[in-house]
Structure 1
Amino acid sequence: MSFRLYWPLIVLLLVIPVIILVWQWRRRGRNVVMPFDHGQEGTGFWLRLLLNSAASLPALVLAVVILILSGPTRLKEPEVKRKLTNIEFCVDVSGSMTATMGEGDRYDASMQAIDEFLEARQGDAFGLTFFGNSVMHWVPITTDASAIRQSPPFMRPGRLPSQSFGGTEIGRALLACRKRLIDTESGDRMILLVSDGMSADLGGGRDIEVANKLKGDNIIVYAIHISTGEVPDAIINITSLTGGEAFAAGDVEGLKSIFASIDGMQQAEMERTAADAVDYYQPFAIVGLSLVGLSLVCSLGLRYTPW
């Protein structure tokens, strides 16, 4: 236990009730002897002890008040909190994402699965990037996921200019997401890539180069290939080298299960926080109220007579 007020000042203030107590126990009042026939003059020790004790209660109450005003604190138990994970969604919006999937297209299914993933990962920070031949950072990394949930209508494939978003350049998109993630000050870093095509910029060993850059910045890449075909080798290389994994999803239910699997594989870590100092008034309040109550009871009869 500690106090917010400095100890020298507390001690200085406590001198006041100490002086009152010393004065109370050392002062000599008027001795009154009651005349009784054949009586002997007693010392009155026990009566004096009882009366001095009763008269000392206000000084003790003052001491407790000073300690309360000094701000008593104690360290509470360290809490366990969720360690932040910074997750960047990297979503393909090329023309092929308009292919039918479930009741909508591949883009609709992807964004719906991302929305459910957001619910499962409450407490993490998310960003959203769309890409084709170009890259557009849509939502900055934030713990408020509402902007991601409201984004699907604005970046729907087929409505975007084909010269910028008609093709698929995954390498460029991953490196753009890397720049955003390395600016985060704390927490783990993860890219969740959602695409349905081959990349035009990962050939000739470019995939290994991109993977090494991501690995060097401790960024894990998980990839979901929304197609009935095999996951491209370049994507497998990137995910395996960074510590992630690549999945293929041919239908809506498979897509949802993959997101659930990634949530289970990349579980949020828990960390103990430093113990915080909290107010600790309870014992002092109990002692102070008890002394006030006892003083009131004593004032009914245990006091010196005024002669």
Structure 2
Amino acid sequence: MAPRPSVRRTRQRFGAADRVPAAVECPRAGGPVVTFEYPYALFLLAVPVLLLAWVWLREGRRVALPVDHGPPGRGTGWWVAVSCAESLLPLALAVAVLLCAGPRRLGEPIDKRKLTNIEICVDVSGSMNNPFGRATRYDGAMEAVTAFTSYRQGDAFGLTFFGNEVLHWCPLTTDVSAINCATPFMRPGQLPPWFGGTLIAKALRACKAELIKRPEGDRMIVLITDGDSQDFANGADAEVAEELKAEGITVFAVVIGNDRQFQNPIIRNGSVQTVTARTGGESFEAGDPNALATVFKRIDEMRRAETDKQIASTLDDFRPFCIAGLVLTGLAGFASFGLRYTPW
């Protein structure tokens, strides 16, 4: 068999335009810009580039094919196929270098919710044990509080009970499980006698002391009561309102029940209205459980949670490079079964 003529190829010269740039970032088509945490590692890309140049530019390789009864071909097709197969591992090495450089990308900007510190102040005087729908006023109030905390996920809630004295049941926290579990422990019928009255001014000042411990976020008090306060006389309501306003605390009041002695709006919630009006809040009346649930939804709508635009964080972007490396390595493994030089 006649020897196969060698295939000569013209050696290409690399100019300045053909050099591999040590770029720190490279945009992906239709995607975010990819940056590298260790850009100096990109200089190692010269190694796979030199290997690729050696695969395609070296001379002297011949493929001996048994050809009978005909002239031998030039073998250009086989040369291209084998060279492509031999280029897979250098390309996989280039992907490994990119992985070592630490590819990163900017994630989607996430709106961060502005924290609102909400102190829920619940009256547990004896009258809160009166019927209210199918349950008591206290039970209806606590059920509405539980629903309200679910509307405002992400805010910090605290729970305070008051009568003649004040008890901080739960500090300000975003975990509202303690608030949701408090109902059976503070029923008005099982409390000591010193919780029998209604001192709203004292309770509001105690709530203020808790809220001012939090320097960040808005401050709000949700007052739930069913009667007139015994310590709002002689302008004490206006005095408390100014104290709360000075600390940036907004008060919303929910007056529940329909006692005849409080049917007169001035007697029923006039002092509470003074506090809510001066602090930028509002006072509501709820004569039945359905109205109570509506009131809390109304409060949520009036003080919608605000959000701040956050700068997008930098995320690792290994996934596309790992997939490319696995594909190249797999193809190189399959190609080694047939597309390789065998010296006969």
TM-score, normalisation: structure 2: 0.74
Q: Which runs of 4+ in 1 moved over 6 A?
A: 30-34, 42-50
SS of 1:232's partner is: helix
Q: Which residue of 2 aligns with 1:134?
A: 165
Distance 2:52 2:135 in 1: 85
RMSD of aligned alpha carbons: 3.4
Q: Which residue of 2 aligns with 1:165?
A: 195
Task: Say whether the 8 Å CA contact 2:131–2:137 is kept in structure 1.
Answer: yes
Please state if 1:261 is matched with 2:291. no
1:15-60 deviation digits (Å, cap 9, x = unpaired): 43234345545655478999xxxxxxx9999987765554333112
Aligned pair count? 302
Task: Say whether the 8 Å CA contact 1:3–1:70 is kept in structure 2.
Answer: no
Q: Which residue of 2 aligns with 1:88?
A: 119
Q: Which residue of 2 aligns with 1:37?
A: none
Report the residue type matching 1:269 in the other structure: E
Please state if 1:200 is matched with 2:230. yes
| Structure 1: runs of 5 or more not aligned | 35-41
Please state if 1:288 is matched with 2:325. yes
The equivalent position to 2:97 in structure 1, one of 66, 70, 73, is 66
Identity of aligned residues (%): 50
The more displaced of 100-109 and 288-297 is 288-297
1:59-88 deviation digits (Å, cap 9, x = unpaired): 121011221243322112223454433221
Distance 2:86 2:300 in 1: 69
1:125-153 deviation digits (Å, cap 9, x = unpaired): 22110112221100112222222222122
**Cα distance change, pair 50–260 in 1 and its aligned pair in 2 (3 A):** closer
Structure 1 residue 262: deviation in Å? 1.5
TM-score, normalisation: structure 1: 0.81
The equivalent position to 1:232 in structure 2, one of 245, 265, 269, is 269
Task: Say whether the 8 Å CA contact 1:94–1:167 is kept in structure 2.
Answer: yes
Distance 1:92 1:129 in 2: 9
The equivalent position to 1:100 in structure 2, one of 126, 131, 155, is 131
**Cα distance change, pair 49–180 in 1 and its aligned pair in 2 (3 A):** same
Report the residue type matching 1:257 in the other structure: T
Distance 1:200 1:256 in 2: 27
SS of 2:188's partner is: coil
Q: Which residue of 1 aligns with 2:174?
A: 143
Task: Say whether the 8 Å CA contact 2:162–2:199 is kept in structure 1.
Answer: yes
SS of 1:204's partner is: coil
| Structure 2: runs of 5 or more not aligned | 1-32, 66-72
Report the residue type matching 1:73 in the other structure: R
